[in-house]
Structure 1
């Protein structure tokens, strides 16, 4: 655990050097939050004032909280492992006395911790000023929500790790990475809440780990899932995390056995 904490800190320090990129990202997230909140409130109004349990304020809150979490969970891109496999640098990772999946997960969490406040706070502040936020007034949802966010970030890493491993067998991954981004964006609840999905699409989403990345943390933080329901959400996230990480370990071991690096 001490080594893991050290790697998390190093990941935080690595990403803290990109101050201008962080500021630009915060501005972008806030602008898109305003657009999404407006569209969400308009859709709820067109539906008669409520939609799948969301009123206008709850819908706007959902949009702002999603925008606050989209950077920490990293929906849009992570191909660091694929690039190292393609370039042969993965051989260095394999030579180190450290499990690569363990090390990359720590770095991914360090990045998320850095992104959490500078990329997450501005959209929430804008939401509080523009539309208002319907958030719980007791501390328990936030404590459980913090656990849910950590699980969501970890599930996101596990899914990205698995997709990146295709580089052991494929030369070009841009198409696969794009499909993963589209699937994660739609099925995680980034575009609209998963609770708004028609039955077949909701069933499809439930068969993937993607709702555990965004929809689950938002449900816990906003108090939509409370008490035993919140614990059930955390249990589902933990189950997906264990399953996808294990699958990632198995695929990585298979890929490492066939890896050929020029010169070694």
Structure 2
């Protein structure tokens, strides 16, 4: 157990250090997120103002906070997935991952948590600071809510990774999964609250979203951090995220076990 923890810590550190080498990319990300944050916040505020009342539980301050927390966390939560594991399946390098003494899911998860740490510290905080200077943002109503918000961010990172990891492993059957990844990004972008808060959608869309892990990837942490939900509602959102972490871990391990039997490396 101690060896696993030590190895995991080293992998998290490695992922963190790897991302810190892309300093110009971090600055570009802050600039881009801030520009779109201004545009999106203006649209959200206009929507609330035209309604003359809170829309789906969002007033002007919580709507602005929703937008800016969402922009800030784009570099932390990997909503668009990745292709690293699928690429290794196509090249045959996935066989090396299977021979290592550490579970491949844990290896890639640790690296992604390190990446997310850089995104949170070097990209999310500056972006959120810009939003706070330009707009009147709502904040969590107390330290317990703020702590739940931070926990929710971590769980969102894990849920987003686990979903993308299982999707990548489907390359063991389909080889080319660009179409599946595109569908994941399009559907996930809508159902996770990336474009608009889910309470602004029709009820049937919210019902469909609640049956998927997508709200746990963004909507739940944004609701907590913007102060839209607190107390028992915030705890319920975190419990939902924990549920999807468990489900996606089981699914990922099952796909991983089945996939091992299908690996064929040419020439060996």
Determine the structure 2 residue equivalent to 1:74.
78
Once the 2 structures are TM-superposed, how far is the Cα of residue 137 of structure 1 from its aligned partner?
5.2
Counterpart pick for 2:97 among 69, 93, 97? 93
SS in 2 for 1:118: helix
Once the 2 structures are TM-superposed, how far is the Cα of residue 182 of structure 1 from its aligned partner?
0.8
- Conserved in 1, the CA contact under 8 Å of 2:58 and 2:228? no
Name which of structure 1's ranges 45-54 and 80-89 shifts more when overlaid on structure 2: 45-54
Computed over aligned residues only, the root mean square deviation of the Cα atoms, in angstroms, reads 1.2
Once the 2 structures are TM-superposed, how far is the Cα of residue 52 of structure 1 from its aligned partner?
1.1
Map 1:150-161 to 2 at 5 A.
Answer: 150-161=154-165
Runs of 4+ in 1 over 3 A off after TM superposition: none
Tell me how far apart the structure 2 counterparts of residues 195 and 43 of structure 1 sit (CA, whole Å): 13
Structure 2 unaligned blocks of 5 or more: none
Determine the structure 1 residue equivalent to 2:233.
229
- Conserved in 2, the CA contact under 8 Å of 1:37 and 1:63? yes
Determine the structure 1 residue equivalent to 2:56.
52
Once the 2 structures are TM-superposed, how far is the Cα of residue 49 of structure 1 from its aligned partner?
3.3
Deviations 1:162-213 (A, max 9, x none): 1111111113221111110111111001101111121110011001000001
- Conserved in 2, the CA contact under 8 Å of 1:141 and 1:222? no
SS in 1 for 2:76: helix
Name which of structure 1's ranges 79-88 and 164-173 shifts more when overlaid on structure 2: 164-173
What is the TM-score normalised by the length of structure 1?
Answer: 0.96
Determine the structure 2 residue equivalent to 1:167.
171
Name which of structure 1's ranges 123-132 and 184-193 shifts more when overlaid on structure 2: 123-132
| Alignment coverage as a number of residue pairs | 264
Determine the structure 1 residue equivalent to 2:193.
189
Determine the structure 1 residue equivalent to 2:132.
128
Determine the structure 2 residue equivalent to 1:2.
6
Map 1:105-120 to 2 at 5 A.
Answer: 105-120=109-124
- Conserved in 1, the CA contact under 8 Å of 2:40 and 2:67? yes
